[in-house]
Structure 1
Amino acid sequence: MPLWKRNMYVCWFGMFVSGIGMSQIAPVLPLFIKQLGISNSGEINRISGIAFGITYIVSAIFSPIWGYAADKVGRKPMLLRASLGMGGIIFCMGFAPNVFTLIFLRILQGAITGYSTACTTLIATQTDKEHAGYALGTLSTASVAGSLLGPTIGGFIEDRIGLQPVFFITGSLMLLAFLTTLFFVKENFKRDEKKQQLSFKEIWNSIPEKRLTIVLSVTFFIITFGLYTIEPIVTVYVGKLNGGAGHVALIAGLVFSASGLANVIAAPQLGKLSDKIGVHKVILFALIAAGIIYIPQAFVSNPWQLMGLRFLLGLTLGGLNPSVNTLIKKITPSHLTGRIFGITISAGYLGVFLGAVLGGQISAAFGIRHVFYITSALLLLNAVWVYFNVYKRLKNKNL
């Protein structure tokens, strides 16, 4: 088995577990905060929002820093640091005596992340051009699937064996990711001292496709924003569609996770397709398809129709993450790969946070259906921007 493929499989597992670790707390957080002594429902909601969102904000700040470190000292050390650190921190959350300790640990979790950045950089720099789309497509399914399936997994564990085991099981899985990374990931890293001493201005000037890099980072932000706008409203929306029937939380979890399942199925295949026909084509048509699929979600009459449309949405978004990552790899000098991926992944974390926050605000101000209208409009406007700044520029190039 080629080295890049073996590393890809190990990194996939680590990124999947990392995604679960970032998101599994969502359905159990209010219950855990209540268990820690907060009884007022309004206070529980406020603290839950802070505790959930702060991890992504801190991650957005630290992701470029860890990307720089990955370029400087190697990608495997960053993988080991992130997996061991996250495993220990998540495990400790189960012992948090109060909400202040919990929030502090969530801040530390955001600061110690960087597993996805290092994985993406490692595979991007090890994989040849012919297999880049497939490798990064497969890898991209891990964090998306982990993030989308995490709430369902966390809710299931809590329902079966309690609150604290959610943290203990997830922390143990991250420690398992640490061990698999330690023993099975191989990297021959050679540091270029001259290139590592560049200032930020010199780094920016050495990027050959500055405008394209900005467009791709914004696109990555909008992709994740669109996925997570539904998170704060899905349970309420499913409750209305379900007409008062039971199992609302379970059905809502399945609806939200449908996109993750579809992404896992589609991303490797669309990654291969991008290797054949060009990443710019896959990005453009996937954005258009995703934007269109959001509209009928506002008109569904039952949860199963919503679940089906979310599955179709996941199929289209499965072509976006790997295509964006593949194109970044192709336009970025190898000694800057970690830093550029750090910036784009940071944009993704911001998309998760702002999507969840603004989705709830839009729903409260205008109604649930407007969340889908506005998200659709953003994706379609992004498609127009990508058409002029990516598709038209690259349609005659071998990218």
Structure 2
Amino acid sequence: MPIWKRNLIVCWFGMFVTGIGMSQIAPVLPLFIKHLGVQDSGSIAELSGIAFGVTFIVSAIFSPIWGAAADRFGRKPMLLRASLGMAVVIGCMGFAHHVYVLIGLRLVQGIITGYGTACTTLIATQTDKEHAGYALGTLSTASIAGSLLGPMVGGFVEENFGMQNVFFITGAMMLIAFLTTALFVQEAFARQTKQVQGAKEIWALIPEKSLTITMFVTFFVLTVALYSVEPIITVYIAELSHNLGHVALIAGITFSASGLANIVAAPRLGKLSDRIGAHKVMLFALAAAGIIFIPQAFVTSPWQLMALRFLLGLTSAGLTPAVNILIKKITPTAITGRVFGFTMSAGYLGVFGGAVLGGEVADWFGSRYVFIVTGMLLLANAAWVYLKVFKKLQSRQTATAAR
């Protein structure tokens, strides 16, 4: 088995578990905070929001820092640091005796993250050009699937094994990721003689500045779209099912349907990106995802919503691989980790921004409008990608073919 393929398998497992670890606390958090002694419902909601959001905000800040460390010291050391650190911190959450201890540990979790950045950089720099789309497409399914399945996994473990065991089981899985990384990941890292220092120097080395910014914004919009429905999905399902029961279970399955579709479609769309161009797949996926979002506002049953969420996953699966492929192509090797670190920051901010957007739109206009607003946001991003990315790269391909 080629080294890149073996590394891909190990990194996929690690990123999947990391995605679960970052998101599994969502359904458990209010219950655990109440278990820690907070009884007022308003305080529980406020502290739950702080504890959930602080991890993603801090992760957005530290992701480029760990990306820089990956460029300087190698990607495998960053994988080992992040997986072992998260195993310890998440396991310790199960022993938290006060809500502020829990929030503090969630903050530390955000600081020590960086597994996804190191994995993406490792696979992008190791994989040959012919297999880059497939490898990055497959890798992208790990974090998205883990993040989308995490709330359902957390709810299942809490219901069957208890709240504390959510943290212990996730910590144990991260420890397994650490051991498999230590034993099976191989990296021939050649440290650059001249290290790039400072944001200005990094920015000067980026040859395609406008294109790079467009990729950051596109990744941010994608994660906003995926998570905008998280705050309202349970309420929306309850409205559609007329409170007939099993609302939480149906909501979890509906939310996770796009994650399942993503697992199925992303490697195939990654291969398609290798064959016809990542910019073409990106434009189609953005437009299709935007169109599929809008009918979700007009469904009359949970099963219709579930089907549309599955279709959404099939289309959005082409976006993350396309973003990573284009970034790999236009970014110098010396700063690959840092640029992917900024991409991950955009994703973490998108998770937080999506939750805020969904909650605010639902509060002001109603749950159905969350789907309409999100769909319009994706279509607007598609128009921007057409003007800033598709037309530019298509004209280059035409000029190259004419020579």
TM-score by length of 2: 0.98
Partner of 2:105 in structure 1? 105
The answer to whether the Cα contact below 8 Å between 2:266 and 2:321 also exists between their aligned partners in 1 is: yes
Partner of 1:41 in structure 2? 41
Partner of 1:260 in structure 2? 259
1:358 deviation in Å?
1.6
Q: Show the 5 A alignment for 1:1-399.
A: 1-194=1-194, 196-397=195-396
Report the 3-state secondary structure (helix = DSSP H, G, I; strand = E; otherwise coil) of the residue aligned with 2:37: coil
Rounded to whole Å, the distance in 1 between the matches of 2:396 and 2:173 is 43
The answer to whether the Cα contact below 8 Å between 2:196 and 2:202 also exists between their aligned partners in 1 is: no
Rounded to whole Å, the distance in 1 between the matches of 2:364 and 2:355 is 15
Rounded to whole Å, the distance in 2 between the matches of 1:198 and 1:370 is 45
1:396 deviation in Å?
3.9
Write the letter of the residue equivalent to 1:218.
V
1:110 deviation in Å?
0.4
Rounded to whole Å, the distance in 2 between the matches of 1:189 and 1:13 is 22
- The verdict on how the C-alpha distance between 1:271 and 1:179 changes in structure 2, with shifts beyond 3 A counting, is same
Write the letter of the residue equivalent to 1:239.
A
Write the letter of the residue equivalent to 1:10.
V
Rounded to whole Å, the distance in 1 between the matches of 2:198 and 2:168 is 42
1:372 deviation in Å?
0.8
1:244 deviation in Å?
1.5
1:200 deviation in Å?
2.1
Q: Deviations over 1:129-178 (max 9, x none)?
A: 11110000000000000000000000000111110110000000000000
The answer to whether the Cα contact below 8 Å between 2:196 and 2:335 also exists between their aligned partners in 1 is: no
Report the 3-state secondary structure (helix = DSSP H, G, I; strand = E; otherwise coil) of the residue aligned with 1:387: helix
1:206 deviation in Å?
1.1
Write the letter of the residue equivalent to 1:395.
Q
Rounded to whole Å, the distance in 2 between the matches of 1:175 and 1:309 is 36
Write the letter of the residue equivalent to 1:364.
D
TM-score by length of 1: 0.99
- Count of aligned pairs: 398
Rounded to whole Å, the distance in 2 between the matches of 1:397 and 1:171 is 48
The answer to whether the Cα contact below 8 Å between 2:196 and 2:334 also exists between their aligned partners in 1 is: no
- The root-mean-square deviation of aligned C-alpha atoms, in Å, is 0.9
Rounded to whole Å, the distance in 1 between the matches of 2:22 and 2:272 is 30
Write the letter of the residue equivalent to 1:165.
N
Report the 3-state secondary structure (helix = DSSP H, G, I; strand = E; otherwise coil) of the residue aligned with 1:264: helix
Rounded to whole Å, the distance in 2 between the matches of 1:183 and 1:49 is 38
Identity over the aligned pairs, expressed in percent? 70
1:373 deviation in Å?
1.0
Report the 3-state secondary structure (helix = DSSP H, G, I; strand = E; otherwise coil) of the residue aligned with 2:230: coil
Rounded to whole Å, the distance in 2 between the matches of 1:203 and 1:246 is 54
Rounded to whole Å, the distance in 2 between the matches of 1:34 and 1:202 is 48
